[in-house]
Structure 1
Amino acid sequence: MKKLEVFDPAMCCPTGVCGPSVDPELTRIASALFLIEGKGFTVKRYNLASEPDVFIDNAKISQLLNEKGPSVLPIVLFNDEVVKEAAYPANDELAEWFEMDSSELSIKKSTNKLL
């Protein structure tokens, strides 16, 4: 089973909508990960602020943080291998890893209008 783990920097929430301005990159990755998880794949996301033990307990993550500091975050593991540092994967990368079409990773906006 394919597994994706995202080790986020310290932040108040993973969606990016709780601060004074919305970070579109956090919104995009949260949406894409939600859709991947909905297809039955294992997706785990860890926040340095609320789950520091997970960062310490993972040897690869701990080593990268010790060598490069917190600017290396986010770190993305795919099947326990580091595939991305200091950035979130693009939808095309996620689609390739999970053998999906990248269009499946975009939430369709409703065209229905409320009267």
Structure 2
Amino acid sequence: MAAIRIYEPALCCESGVCGTDTDASLVTVTADVRRLKDLGADIERHNLATDPTAFTTDETVRGFMHTVGSKGLPDRRRRRHRRDRHLSEPRRTARLRRPR
């Protein structure tokens, strides 16, 4: 099974329930990661604020951070804005082609 590593920007907490503004997407990711770990998946989640050494020990991530910086990490504010902007549009789903 492949290893999954999630690198996130500096957040006050990984759960998304801290503060006054709860981020539902972080709550979902936290639950999904916990469930996958319970099923035996090799998955880890790294937060720049709480686990900065993970960003320096992985050569690929270190190179990415050196080139792009933390601006290249997912921005939850930007993601929420994009999601809100498309709420009125019909949901588009991708169709997967079956192998022949």
Q: TM-score, normalised by structure 1?
A: 0.59
Q: Which amino acid aligns with 1:37?
A: K
Aligned residue pairs, count: 76
Gaps of 5+ in 1: 75-86, 88-115
Gaps of 5+ in 2: 80-100
The runs of at least 4 aligned residues of structure 1 exceeding 2 Å deviation read none
The share of aligned pairs that are identical, in percent, is 28
d(CA) in 2 for partners of 1:54 and 1:36? 20
Instruction: Tell me the SS of whatever aligns to 2:7.
Output: strand
d(CA) in 2 for partners of 1:3 and 1:54? 14
- The answer to whether 1:12 aligns with 2:16 is no
Please give the per-residue CA displacement for 1:41-76, whole angstroms capped at 9, x wherever unaligned.
1111111112212111111111111111212224xx
Aligned equivalent of 2:85: none
Higher Cα radius of gyration: 2
Structure with greater strand share of residues: 1
d(CA) in 1 for partners of 2:51 and 2:33? 19
Root mean square deviation of aligned Cα: 1.9
